[in-house]
Amino acid sequence: MTITKPAFIDINQVSVVYDSKKGPVTAIEQIDKQINQGDFICVLGPSGCGKSTLLKVIAGFIQPTKGTCQMEDKLITQPSWERGVVFQDSTLYPWMSVQENIEYGLKMRQVNPTMIKERTESILEQVGLLHVKDAHTFELSGGMQQRVAVARTLVNKPKMILMDEPFGALDALTRLNMQGLTRDLWQEEKTTVFLITHDIDEAMTLGNRVWVMSKNPGKIEKEYQLDYTYQALTDERHRVSVDDKYLTIKNEILDIIGA
């Protein structure tokens, strides 16, 4: 008898229909996908195709109208620290220092104080914020604030991190730095990442799997399994070589999303 391990995340025939003033809106329809532990999934698609809706189902913020979403064989029915979420404009607490913002979730969960101290120092170092740990978050640049948001999520040691256009508001250079940091943390922490972006290069150079969605109804049109992110991990300057295959896939994606 073969015993098959349950998928880490099992998105099983999920549809979400919102009620709106103009009537029901089908945001996503019959999405059927599995995510493996350790995957870095990047999701691309035109505006309104249901990317954030899918993230909210996995995070447990909303329930599917049809179908189910499970994590390690357990139905996802509510948000959990096991699935940390980072938004483009993650709100930090302005009256708290960087360190206090990061510690807050652990304190709420009544984690032991020695462990809180150890984990917070370690994550501050990993994201390069140790030198500003006592600063207020409003004193930091946008890129640094996003580092705090990522650190605040990772300090909980979530099994999965869900990111909704996390670098959308950052300038090009800061964005590149944050992409590199996210890739390194994914590798170091062996976590699972689900990241929504509008940037095809970002998706192709970060994800080991790229899901491309189309709209009306929102569904996953195509999946690419890529190894550019592993190339970047081993390259001294964290770059990937843009080969013919890369350009062909990028053009295919552009065609699917109708850009």
| Residues at the contact surface with ligand ATP, assessed by CB under 6 A | 18, 20, 25, 27, 45, 47-53
The phi, psi pair for 186, rounded to 5°, reads -60, -45
* Identity of the residue, 85 or 154, whose beta carbon is nearer to ligand ATP in the bound complex: 85
Least distance to ligand ATP from the beta carbon of 62, Å?
8
Distance CA 98, CA 152 (A): 9
Closer residue to ligand ATP (CB): 158 or 218:
218
The residues near 214 (Cβ < 8 Å, ≥ 6 apart) are 45, 46, 49, 221, 256, 257
Single-letter amino acid code for the residue at 99: Q
Q: Of 53 and 126, which has the nearer Cβ to ligand ATP?
A: 53
What is the DSSP secondary structure assignment for residue 132, as one 8-state letter? G
In whole angstroms, the minimum distance from the beta carbon of 23 to ligand ATP comes to 10
Q: How far is the CB of 49 from ligand ATP (least distance, A)?
A: 4
Q: Minimum Å distance from CB 63 to ligand ATP?
A: 13
Token digits of residue 17: 């229909």
- DSSP annotation of 49: S
User: Least distance to ligand ATP from the beta carbon of 57, Å?
Assistant: 10
Return the number of the residue (43 or 154) whose C-beta is nearest ligand ATP: 43
User: How far apart are the C-alpha atoms of 57 and 232, rounded to whole Å?
Assistant: 31
- Residue 42 or 106: the one with the smaller Cβ distance to ligand ATP is 42
Minimal distance, residue 97 CB to ligand ATP, in Å? 32
Q: Is the dihedral of CA 138, 144, 150, 155 positive or negative?
A: negative
CB nearer to ligand ATP: pick between 51 and 147 = 51
Whether omega for the bond prior to residue 217 falls within 30 degrees of 0, making it cis, is yes
Q: Give me the residues paired with residue 20 across strands.
A: 23
Which structure tokens are listed for 75? 């139905």
